[in-house]
Amino acid sequence: MRLLVLGGTKFLGLAAVEAAFERGHEVTLLNRGETNPELFPDAEKLRGDRDGDLSALEGREWDAVIDPSGFVPRVVSASAELLQGSVGHYVFVSSISVYREPYEPGFDEDAPVFDVEPATESVNEEYAELKAACERVVREVIPEAHANVRAGLIVGPHDPTGRFTYWPLRVAAGGAVLAPAPADRKVQFVDVRDLGAWLVRLAEERTTGTFNAVRPAAPFKQLLEACREVAGSDADFVWADESFLLGQDVSPWMELPLWLPGDDAPFLQADVSRAVGEGLTFRPVEETVADTLAWARQAGAPLVTPGDRGSAGMDPAREAELLEAWSRRP
């Protein structure tokens, strides 16, 4: 298979390209800047700008394209329209975030999504609305030969966000670990390598449709216990309830990763049976934790990771204050 990857030098793109080579495919990468020559030396590397210069793609044909870097409908439209007659299948990576509140536990791909045109192209302001609009573009331009993949939280080695890496690192450090009660709260994520391999499979088989792409929901305590077992640490989990955490102005999702309180909690309980039925598989959580921890230690990844949408993870001094406050509650 001749596969085109739009932006294949970042987290998910890297995983998809690696999977494609493992399966013996020819790969072409389109990127804006110079690509590290040591990165995928067997790949064809084209230079171009998705927001203005796609000339490198003109007059070419591929069996399929994987688009893990589309965030703005106008930009996705330009790529899809140019490639409409040049690729056999278009795999677009969207997001679970396209669903509108309120979330129902076990919601599937037919749940309501954002259906209004975004008022801005700022990803930080209207990420969900933009991703939903990108899905509509792909569906309209290539109606019979596309897959819209609604990815959940993507985790694993080389994750630049720190939104999952915090937990393997923090639990490995041991001692009292602040955790959001209840311990059986469901959480979801997907290993980037599992998702990348599945994107390639969708392209190979020209699978069409819309899919929630994330692990089945499982209790938070299972993840933290896996972290403790992998690290061999003496971590003791202190399960603080939502009212306390919110009263202490703890920021959900970012300051305490994977924690979504109240009515937002079902957001991490999506039904994934459709994707599983099309071959999405998941490695053991322990493997994801172990590989993430090994990479984080080797790379010197920080416990608190700064980002353009805020820092992910809790500062140790802040955690110590909260643990003390929890111990002294009435």
Q: Return the percentage of the chain with pLDDT > 90, whole number.
A: 93
CATH superfamily assigned to domain 2-155+189-213 = NAD(P)-binding Rossmann-like Domain (3.40.50.720)
pLDDT digits (tens, 9 = 90+) for 238-296: 999 999 999 999 999 999 999 999 999 999 999 999 999 999 999 999 999 999 999 99
Give the model's pLDDT for residue 310.
81
Q: Return the percentage of the chain with pLDDT > 70, whole number.
A: 98
* Angle ∠(267,16,108) on CA atoms, nearest 5: 25
- State yes or no: pLDDT of 35 exceeds 90: no
Whether the CB-CB separation of 17 and 43 falls below 8 Å is answered with: yes
SS3 category, 45: strand
Question: N- to C-terminal Cα distance for the chain?
Answer: 64
Distance (Å) of CA 69 to CA 49, 75, 92:
12, 10, 9
CATH 3.40.50.720 domain span(s) along the chain: 2-155+189-213
| Average confidence (pLDDT) over 7-21 | 91
Lowest mean pLDDT among 117-126, 133-142, 239-248, 307-316: 307-316
pLDDT digits (tens, 9 = 90+) for 210-229: 999 999 999 999 999 999 99
Region of residue 174 (left: phi > 0; alpha: psi -120 to 50; beta: else): left
Give the model's pLDDT for residue 36.
66
- State yes or no: pLDDT of 308 exceeds 80: no
pTM of the model: 0.96
Task: Give the count of beta carbons closer than 10 Å to the beta carbon of residue 60.
Answer: 15
At 9, the pLDDT band (50, 70, 90 cuts) reads confident
At 39, the pLDDT band (50, 70, 90 cuts) reads confident
H or E segment and range at residue 145: none
Give the model's pLDDT for residue 34.
62
> Cα separation of 175 and 172, whole Å?
9
Q: Which amino acid is at 56?
A: A
Q: Chain-wide mean pLDDT for the chain?
A: 96
pLDDT digits (tens, 9 = 90+) for 43-98: 999 999 999 899 999 999 999 999 999 999 999 999 999 999 999 999 999 999 99
